Amino acid sequence: MAHCIVPEAEALLDREFPVLDKGFVRLVDYLGGDARIVQAARVSYGKGTRSFREDAALIDYLMRHEHTSPFEQVVLTFHIKLPIFVARQWIRHRTARVNEISGRYSVMKDECYMPEPEALAPQSDDNKQGRASIPFDPATAERIRQILSEGSAASYETYRALLDMGLAREIARIALPLSLYTEWYWQIDLHNLFRFLMLRLDPHAQREIREYARVILDIARAVAPAATASFERHILKGVRFSGPEMEELRRRLEVQSNQPSHSGQAAGEPLLNGKELERFEEKLKTGRQL
């Protein structure tokens, strides 16, 4: 395979893109782009004689039919600065290679995440792991920010006091809060990056990790624009339907076209019920996977 240079990606190398109040995402390196995906799929040498339109059509075909291995030929390496509580969610994506700063070797910096007022909201009534869509009033939000600030400052002061007493860094670090920023190098192939983005750009994902995912999506567009466009079209903005949901779709289309039902049930009778029907209606309404 010929070495792939993507000018748009070259322009992004080593640029810090800010995320949250003190974090960033930086593209350190990349291997391949759309051309590498096409080369791998065709097992050809060099660029070949295909047009851009034909290459984009092939990439789209691969994405639609879930032929994932050619996308694994593209690899991106990021330098990311993020709060520890975000990193603990992020690390669950075990298909990446990670090298994180170590509190055993380094004295951690006094840098903690402070949410913006609009990011502070009560616990959601219908989502056990998320916050409500309406934030607290400004006065309450400012009081919460003050409490968080005082708590993180006290934790870091405790950490420094333990270090000053001569306590080993590897044990003193247990006093540090989850809001503390950490840094890591994160390397992942394009197929698994798309999987990460599918999950972490979903509205149900935590707000803070979605902010990082949006920046990474923009970088992916620069590295592999055709592949990313296909991912957005078929995966990010698409939904999957279960077998019963497909039957319900057919039933509704039959009703609209006045065709006799082939489902074995009355034409106007839903095939789903309860929570199944609620999830199905929400998919149709929002266009999101649930």
- The closest of 89, 109, 93, 128 to 208, measured between CA atoms, is 89
Q: Is the pLDDT of residue 262 over 60?
A: no
pLDDT tens, residue by residue, 53-70: 889 999 999 999 999 999
- Which is catalytic among the residues 94, 200, 221, 251? 200
Cα separation, 90 vs 82, in Å, equals 10
Work out the number of other CB atoms within 10 angstroms of the CB of residue 237.
10
- Structural tokens at position 242: 């279960």
Position 251 pLDDT exceeds 60 = yes
- Give the Cα-Cα-Cα angle 93, 196, 78 (nearest 5 degrees): 80
Higher pLDDT, 52 or 150: 150
Average pLDDT over residues 212-230: 98
User: For 171-191, what is each residue's pLDDT tens digit?
Assistant: 999 999 999 999 999 999 999
194, with CB counted inside 10 A (0-12, 13-18, 19+), is: buried
Letter string b/e over residues 95-132, b meaning 16 or more CB atoms within 10 A of that residue's CB:
ebeeeeeebeeeebeebbbebeeebbbeeeeeeeeebe
pLDDT at 74 over 80: yes
CA 75 to chain centre: 16
Measure the CA dihedral 176/174/82/120, to 10°. Answer: -50
Complete edge-to-edge strand list for the sheet that includes strand 97-100: 16-19, 23-31, 75-83, 181-189, 97-100
The verdict on whether 200 is a catalytic residue reads yes
Neighbours of 144 (CB within 10 A): 14
Condensed to tens digits (0 to 9), the pLDDT of residues 95-138 reads: 999 999 999 999 999 999 999 999 999 998 887 888 998 999 99
Contact 131, 122 (CB under 8 A): yes
pLDDT category at 24 given cuts 50, 70, 90 is very high
Which pairs from 152-158 meet CB under 8 Å and 24+ separation?
152/112, 152/114, 152/177, 152/179, 152/180, 156/110, 156/112, 156/180
